[in-house]
Amino acid sequence: MSSIRFEESSVFNQLASFEHQQVVFCHDEDTGLKAIIAIHNTVLGPALGGTRMWSYETEAEALYDVLRLSKAMTYKAAITGLNLGGGKAVIIGDSRNDKSEVLMRRFGRFIENLNGSFITTQDVGTSPKDMEFIRMETKYVTGVPEVMGGAGDLSPVTAKGVYMGIKASIKEMFGTDSLAGRSIAVQGTGHVGEHLVNLLRVENAKVYVSDISEERMIRVAKKYGAEAVNNNNLFDIDFDVYAPCALGATVNSETINKMKCSIIAGSANNQLADDKRDGKLLLDKGILFAPDYLINAGGLINCYSELEGYSKKRTMQLAEKIYDATLQVLKKSKQDNIPTNIAADMIAEKRIQDIKKIKSSF
């Protein structure tokens, strides 16, 4: 997935580079709404993506962010086998001070006017309550509370997907997917990280936990029988799997050099600081990288399940398919001697091209 720097390009150059179908600029003086909805691709189905509310320094930065994120959603849906396209929305503003019912409902009207080509859910700076407000104006929203027929907390499904990605990677590397006796370092013990630690410990894996919040790290370690490790000392330890579940870009030239693990598989977004460089470094070093946008797709699966009529059992079954999808990526990477992130992109692109042959855009 190529990218360009937003400050170096005009709006139309950016649209051409990212190959978007539609970008909608939403402005409403009465409510103070300034938002951008980006629909990247709808070959597989309607574009689904979260609405992020952020205090961008410039409007150009907001545009770059929404274009980049919506393209990533196309790939995430395609690689996971879902009948969804890729989209994203950003609202420019401070989510703590600028948000209101009327702002979110006005935004909902803009979504309604797209007639189902874009469906949203929560993201950074937005909440289930915001989705409730949007739902008052349009049905094209997921991530609403369980009492409204929504799926509720996304983290158990996201953790399940990561867990399946870890098991598939262990299978590829060691010939069996049993986690008993394997050592796994989970960096980040928030909602998803904690659920993942639980799944790993149930299968008798040796788990190390690390978090910038020492209090949370110690609590999770104590609760599940894991070992707490300071963030700065994490790569001094010898373990089988590194599972980044917090910040992105923790896999870079500096950390790769220190790593003793065989596998990287976690829920964090954008784990590679530089896709091209770091993917190649991992390949050369013989470290298996389970692409983040594949194994952390549980949240998207949850939203898809909501659209189909939510069932917890069916949602977990869909998340389990991440196991086979991960094996497919690792197999292609090995066969073609290419980094796993490139292999994943190629599989996603092929699915879109194949489906395009049998149907027109949604």
Residues tagged active-site:
88
Those residues whose C-beta lies under 8 Å from the C-beta of residue 258, and which sit 6 or more positions away, are 235, 236
Tell me how far the alpha carbon of residue 263 is from its chain's centroid. 19
E-assigned strands of 6-63? 22-28, 33-41, 47-54
Of residues 85, 86, 81, 80, the one with CA closest to residue 66: 86
Of residues 108, 120, 122, 138, the one with CA closest to residue 31: 108
- Cα 255 to Cα 245: distance, rounded to the nearest angstrom: 16
- Cα 25 to Cα 110: distance, rounded to the nearest angstrom: 9
CB atoms within 10 A of CB 113: 12
- Cα 226 to Cα 188: distance, rounded to the nearest angstrom: 13
What is the dihedral sign for C-alpha 256, 257, 258, 259?
positive
CB atoms within 10 A of CB 29: 7
Beta bridge partners of 86: 41, 48
Beta bridge partners of 170: none
Q: What is the CA radius of gyration of the chain?
A: 20
Amino acid, single-letter form, for residue 316: M
